């Protein structure tokens, strides 16, 4: 797949901090409901993440994450997901969150 830098710039990836996390038993695949603070410009956006293999909701509060904030909202069962939290599949196919190794301002854009 061939793309250019302009295509990359269309995806708005920002740094956020999880402020709230809850189990999402209504989801078809095991998931956690997240509320992520992307700073004063963007605010808090909700996300549904299939990350239950490695994370418990109560341990996620305060965690820094990276998320796409400019995709249209998506209805996931009874929950409206407003951002896409990013991660990688591990060797078993479970999702591991993509996180920065140092602190940066909430809402900082991936460059």
Write down the domain spans for the chain.
Answer: 5-97
Instruction: Give, in order, the Cα–Cα distances in Å from 16 to each of 5, 43, 72, 84.
Output: 24, 9, 18, 11
SS3 state at 9: helix
| pLDDT at residue 31, rounded to an integer | 97
Residue 66 CA to its chain's centroid (Å): 6
Question: pLDDT, tens digit, for every residue of 52-89?
Answer: 999 999 999 999 999 999 999 999 999 999 999 999 99
Residue 16 pLDDT greater than 70, yes or no: yes
CATH superfamily of this structure's domain 5-97: Nucleic acid-binding proteins (2.40.50.140)
pTM over 0.85: yes
Task: Tell me the residue ranges of DSSP E strands in the chain.
Answer: 13-23, 32-37, 44-49, 64-68, 74-76, 79-81, 84-85, 87-89, 95-97
């Amino acid at each position: 797949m061939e793309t250019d830098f302009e295509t990359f710039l269309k995806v708005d990836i920002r740094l956020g901090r999880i402020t709230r996390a809850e189990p999402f038993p209504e989801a078809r695949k095991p998931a956690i409901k997240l509320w992520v603070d992307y700073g004063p410009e963007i605010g808090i956006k909700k996300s549904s993440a299939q990350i239950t293999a490695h994370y418990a909701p109560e341990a996620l509060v305060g965690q820094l994450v990276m998320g796409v904030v400019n995709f249209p909202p998506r209805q996931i069962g009874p929950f409206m997901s407003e951002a896409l939290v990013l991660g990688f599949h591990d060797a078993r196919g479970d999702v591991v969150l993509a996180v920065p190794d140092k602190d940066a301002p909430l809402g900082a854009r991936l460059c």
